[in-house]
Chain A
């Protein structure tokens, strides 16, 4: 009789699968299955019904002015906050990378907001931006009128909150990426007479491009996470300028309208899926071209 032995490659695959199995099970139980249930709910007549209604629920949600406002604000916040944090954290990382003497100190200072408790962050922002806050007091001392920071300028406050809290983390990631570039490349560039700008644009940025993708994805995650502070700071129905998709989803949860909540969640999934797929596709294409 012949003994069929597994090839080494198959054995490696099985071993790899077994190592991944707990994570796959966890992913399935806590993410994939609930998401499939959510998807089914989004095309059902109501919660207890299995009647398929097609895209009627989606049409209802798109017809809702609250959803349209939320979507508009979310895209606007994405479009503003992502470039800001990217450029800000990259710029600071490049500056820090040039002079490493105070590196550890600055890294701690910039990362500190990320580890602060949410309540502390909210309290701080209320103290600074509240109607009777430090900023308004300062403006009044200069003879300027007090501003409605939590209402009229809520978008700016939320943007500052997001940048203040998350820039440090991106700086650390960028610094790690910059440190991975061999010094010899810069020395060679110096020999070739490359200036600072040329070194950054022709050397640094292309070499850290793979890391930038990861940082971009992390920034998107943190953008969604900023809803936590926003919710505590501005409430469940904030000023119209910062009413976002997460508010829409969360408020429908409070109102027990799980169908609309499901639709909102699926739409968010689709948008982020497209975005991340696009980024990964660019990366794959770039590697292929290389």
Chain B
């Protein structure tokens, strides 16, 4: 009987182990009505528990008194960083400077393909291994805020406070503080992207749209509606061959500063009106069968008034932005550029690249030194990647713009075109309007696109789509 019992238990264990492996191993890879009481509940989890130990007033600046026991770690002699070819455009010059400053250090630098890099940071970082310094695109992690809450990154606030060589005032505060998670600083943005709306004064005049009417997303929607009413067969944004309704949803999510989740309090923060406005803008741009459409409207068609706005809503210093300016001015129209309004009526930049230090590293000081180099003027104003996006170092903003224009002017389709000092000042003023920067988690962006697209296509009501999205986000934030 005893033998039978033991054999029963062993057999059950083996069967169970096999069943568990069978049942959960074959998951596909890339690849509800909400209970009001549940959605109103604030779920407590470890993140919220950590928040209980954080001072209530998070707007009070931190001082050294908040980290009384902190001492800068002792120097070690190694530093491990991973990179890709694209990230190397910024990281390699920074490493060269690091070698010059600290010749005795051993730098272990691995360059890999994009796929390998994504796999490495998705496996090694959560495992507490990987590089000492993570220098990455904002979209490499599926949800960087969830990753931050898991404790894999080091709080860099004490380094900011105790390192006398570092002056936070040299940087755009809104962008620099985007790396804060509550009162802990896990990320340091290295470059950002300022979303812009570009058009021409003549287009607005012809469509009877006031030039200053779209400083809010509601005003932007009204402008789009006016244009669409006048030209039902045209797209609102110059699609440049790839800006479909689906892609526009992604761009709008990122540029409007939407945040579906308050990670610190573990609550869903979906604003119905803002989301509907954004979905309506995408709906106005959407054309049935757009993916199979031949021909495209580009920024070169703006002077022909074939679209209201340039569709490339990205960086201020991109080639398209400069080209658009060139094209409009060459056609003797008046180029207009605005910051894209966010849902709060301000301007939100998007973090393009960031640096973070592993919480398990023994080389924290070296990692911090490399971060300072990445934030230095030589890098912020010196590499094509940081120039192509928006530098976060305020003193070199204009210099960077001047440098980038001279780099790109030779490539302009319409020949070289110099920006006047007045125009450059106007462009720089746009960057200085930034309230803050965010990093849109790709996984949430995808959910937003998938759930809102049926509304954009006219297959479902917005309420249904909103409810489905809410169900998804409620589940997601509790996982």
Contact = CB atoms under 8 A, between A and B. Distances in A.
A221 interface: yes
Interface in A29-78: 30-32, 35, 45-49, 56, 60, 63-67, 69
Given A48-B129, A66-B475, A250-B27, A265 B20 contact: yes
Nearest to A50: B128
A46 B22 contact: no
A66 B479 contact: yes
A206 interface: no
Contacts of A252: 479
A221 B19 contact: yes
Contacts of A67: 478-479
A255 B34 CA distance: 23
Nearest to A60: B46
A48 B450 contact: no
Contacts of A231: 27-28, 31
Contacts of B146: 255-257
B127 interface: yes
A64 B23 contact: no
Contacts of A243: 32, 475
Give the interface size bracket for B toward A: 35 or more
Contacts of B147: 256
A236 B20 CA distance: 19
A267 to B, nearest CB: 10
A221 B476 CA distance: 26
A260 B472 CA distance: 18
Contacts of B12: 273, 276-277, 280
Contact of A276 (B16, B27, B450, B479): B16
Given A258-B126, A284-B4, A65 B41 contact: yes
Contacts of A131: 459-460
Contact of B38 (A65, A251, A259, A268): A65
A161 B21 CA distance: 22
A159 to B, nearest CB: 17
Interface string B5-20: 1001101111111111
B143 interface: yes
B363 to A, nearest CB: 15
Interface in B124-163: 125-129, 141-143, 146-147, 150-152
B44 interface: yes
B143 to A, nearest CB: 6
A280 B24 contact: no
A240 B471 contact: yes
A12 interface: no
A269 B20 contact: yes
A248 interface: yes
B476 to A, nearest CB: 6
B43 interface: yes
Contact of A280 (B8, B128, B143): B8
Nearest to B26: A228
Given A64-B479, A269-B17, A246 B8 contact: no
Contact of B150 (A69, A238, A256): A256
Given A251-B476, A276-B16, A288 B1 contact: yes
A280 B125 CA distance: 42
20 contacts: A48-B152, A48-B359, A64-B479, A65-B38, A217-B15, A221-B19, A224-B20, A224-B23, A225-B23, A225-B26, A231-B31, A232-B31, A237-B472, A246-B24, A250-B27, A255-B479, A256-B150, A276-B12, A276-B19, A284-B5
Q: Would you list the 4 A-B pairs with minimal beta carbon distance, nearest first?
A: A48-B128, A224-B23, A66-B478, A240-B32
Interface of B: 1, 4-5, 8-9, 11-24, 26-28, 31-35, 38, 41, 43-46, 122, 125-129, 141-143, 146-147, 150-152, 359-360, 443, 447, 450, 459-460, 468, 471-472, 475-476, 478-479
